[in-house]
Structure 1
Amino acid sequence: MGAALMWSFWARPAHEPADGIENAAAAGAPLVDITIPDQLGENATVGETIFNAQCADCHGVNAVGREGLAPPLVHIIYEPSHHADEAFQRAVSAGVQQHHWPFGNMPPVSGLTRGDVAMVVAYIRELQEANGIN
């Protein structure tokens, strides 16, 4: 992610609309632009399907976040050294209290097994890697 994008993302107060767009119009808009890998591994491909069914409504298609709803998971904050795979497991099973972002608490996500979440994490990690987040 370019320095300018990072700066604009972090410098903009949470209550201020992006690029001068009205808050109502920006609601749900992607929060970051990312590079999509040419090909996903087998586990990540399964994870993408699960993500699209269970996570994309809030975190956006390709985990780019959604204005006013949820953060991008393709972001340096979620790099493996800061949010290990187990953090995603816990977030899904128990929910998460708001701490990095101004979106409110994330509720638990029902109906996903640890194996399902592991596949979703494989997908997120491949997206992150394609965007220089290791």
Structure 2
Amino acid sequence: MTSKAISFVVLAFAIAAFLVIRAFVPGNRDVQVAEVKVPELSSDAQTGRALFEENCVACHGESAAGTEAGPPLVHAVYAPEHHSDQAFQLAVARGVSAHHWGFGDMAPVEGLSQAEVGKIADYVRELQRANGIL
């Protein structure tokens, strides 16, 4: 095989690998602000909703449906088997390096206690459940 043929095969393989990876890795192109069904919320989730609206809505959108600035939390990526409630705690406390989406890094959120983040997680989980994520 000539070096030109080898280069062509390597290039074709690289393009095919890129396309396969892009097909399975979510990015902003996969995010659409969807209509999220909001159920009757428990008391803890109602508190979480108020905290979410004060601290999270700018990026994660109304009813956690996402925006151009941040991903939807009512999404299978954030189901408990992939992102536990502890992941929410760590994200708020430490911030998060971008790894599922192309929105960029999430900065820590100042001023929220662990109990308050727990209430936000309750709200998100109830939204997820009502929308078939859990």
TM-score (norm 1): 0.77
In the alignment, the residues of structure 2 paired with residue 65 and residue 131 of structure 1 have an alpha-carbon distance, to the nearest angstrom, of: 14
Distance 1:52 1:117, change over 3 A: same
Gaps of 5+ in 1: 1-9, 19-29
Letter in 1 for 2:93: S
Corresponding residue for 1:27?
none
**Higher helix proportion (structure 1 or 2):** 2
In the alignment, the residues of structure 1 paired with residue 25 and residue 94 of structure 2 have an alpha-carbon distance, to the nearest angstrom, of: 31
Letter in 1 for 2:75: H
Deviations 1:45-104 (A, max 9, x none): 00000000000011101000102x000000000000000000000000000000000000
Counterpart contact for 2:65–2:72, Cα < 8 Å: yes
Paired residues, number: 111
In the alignment, the residues of structure 2 paired with residue 48 and residue 40 of structure 1 have an alpha-carbon distance, to the nearest angstrom, of: 9
Corresponding residue for 2:3?
none
In the alignment, the residues of structure 1 paired with residue 26 and residue 100 of structure 2 have an alpha-carbon distance, to the nearest angstrom, of: 14
In the alignment, the residues of structure 2 paired with residue 91 and residue 66 of structure 1 have an alpha-carbon distance, to the nearest angstrom, of: 18
Corresponding residue for 2:46?
45
Q: Which has the larger radius of gyration?
A: 2
TM-score (norm 2): 0.77
Percent identical among aligned pairs is 44
